Amino acid sequence: MDHVILPIFTMIIPVVAIIGGISVAIVRLITQGRLEELARRERIAAIERGVPPEKLPPLPAAPGESSYLFGYSRLRRAHGLMIGGLILIACGIGLSIMVYTIEPEKSHWVVGLIPMMVGGALLASSAIVWPRGGDNK
């Protein structure tokens, strides 16, 4: 029975991860679009009530720009990259340890190097994006 369940789980885990990642991206896009639409409606309503446009706060993102890419500060992007890198490095180490404890005589533990290298690349890009001096834009 165990020889049947293990191959099923090895195929289900990546499928669930991919579907989950795509679902999170879709929900984020829909939510961000809704927030931008509500901000525009609020701005139009304030202008209709006679508030000068100069006194209104700016919109969350400029028209045509994705607020996911351009609306965040450099510090926030750097923090996101650093957190993602640390999580991937921890997952790679955990995967290597898990595979090594299951089959210590084989060298399949090297599979954990893939997420560790991706995590290292994210940490390196975090260091590149990190704001220097007082620049936070």
pLDDT at 110: 87
Query: Per-domain residue ranges for the chain?
Result: 1-68, 72-137
- Separation of CA 125 from chain center: 14
Q: Measured between alpha carbons, how far is residue 11 from residues 8, 113, 124 in Å?
A: 5, 20, 31
- Average pLDDT on 53-70 reads 62
Q: What is the pLDDT of residues 16-57, one digit of tens each?
A: 889 999 999 999 889 888 988 888 898 899 999 998 888 888
Higher-confidence residue of 92 and 61: namely 92
pLDDT band with cut points at 50, 70 and 90 for residue 64: very low
Question: Does 2 score more than 70 pLDDT?
Answer: no
pLDDT at 63: 43
Helix axes 113-129, 74-102, angle to 10 degrees: 170
pLDDT at 135: 54
pLDDT band with cut points at 50, 70 and 90 for residue 120: very high
User: Is this structure's pTM higher than 0.75?
Assistant: no
Q: What is the pLDDT of residues 71-97, one digit of tens each?
A: 567 788 889 889 999 999 999 999 999
Q: DSSP assignment, residue 130?
A: S
Q: Which residues contact 50 (CB under 8 A, 6 or more apart)?
A: none
Tally Cβ neighbours within 10 Å of residue 99.
17
- Separation of CA 134 from chain center: 25
Quote the CA–CA distance of 137 and 132 in Å, as a whole number: 10
